[in-house]
Amino acid sequence: MLALLSVSKQGRQAVRGFGSAAKTLQELWAGGAPLTQIVTESHGRAAKADRHEWVYLAPLEQVTAEAATLEKRAASLSEEQRKLELPLLGSTFAVKDNLQVKGMPITNTMDYRPPRKAPIAEESAAVVRKLQERGAIVIGKTNMDCAATGLVGVRSPYGACQNSLDRSMISGGSSSGSGVSVALGQVTFSLGTDTAGSGRVPAALNNIVGLKASRGLVSTHGLLPACRSLDCVSIFALTVHEAHRILGAAAEAAGADPFDRPAK
């Protein structure tokens, strides 16, 4: 019951524009880079983004402080405990701007100028909170077709998101920024949504993996709905293995979503 598209062979190539840092974040982590370096690198890449993929970036000092706290917690655990409690340690992620992240603005790409004038989320969406508890760090909120009603990625007051492979091409939508940010190596993975293709289309057009889980497997509590009975949270990653790993951490009923159901 999984919809998977386009295993990426481009992930290694996509970061060549970053000069001496031309490695994926996964490669840096596997090579022994500390978490604070991973987060700083990820944030720096996002800050240099120029394809209208981001709506809001968390302050660098905030995400590095989160990384330092996680490093201390990880150091206090045995290797077995780290794998169990913090399976996503070393990961950064982006969140589509129709999902709430506590303390960050949520625009749904309505015309808030600047985006920080949008309402500030008082709590995180259930899936965001779950991934943070597992050790992943949110870098920021990504661009999308307005109110998640489009499949092209150009219907946003914050700019038409450009394809990661060719700027003259559409990125696909509505989860445009979430797809492009992963394809360009700015974050380890990202969250989008999929009601009628909004997660799978950007994945296909940017040559990455798009995963839409069965309805109710990943809670939509904290998502601004496009179609309440069809909305699903989707996952963008560079490989099928990574998408499956993220799904394993995200799939847990939150209780507040009437469509929630336990994984079997």
pLDDT for 5-53, tens place per residue? 333 444 444 453 444 446 899 999 999 999 999 999 999 999 999 999 9
pTM to 2 decimal places: 0.91
In one letter, which amino acid is 100?
Q
Q: Which residues are catalytic?
A: 96, 174, 198
pLDDT digits (tens, 9 = 90+) for 182-237: 999 999 999 999 999 999 999 999 999 999 998 999 999 999 999 999 999 999 99
Q: Would you state the CATH architecture of domain 3-250?
A: Alpha-Beta Complex (3.90)
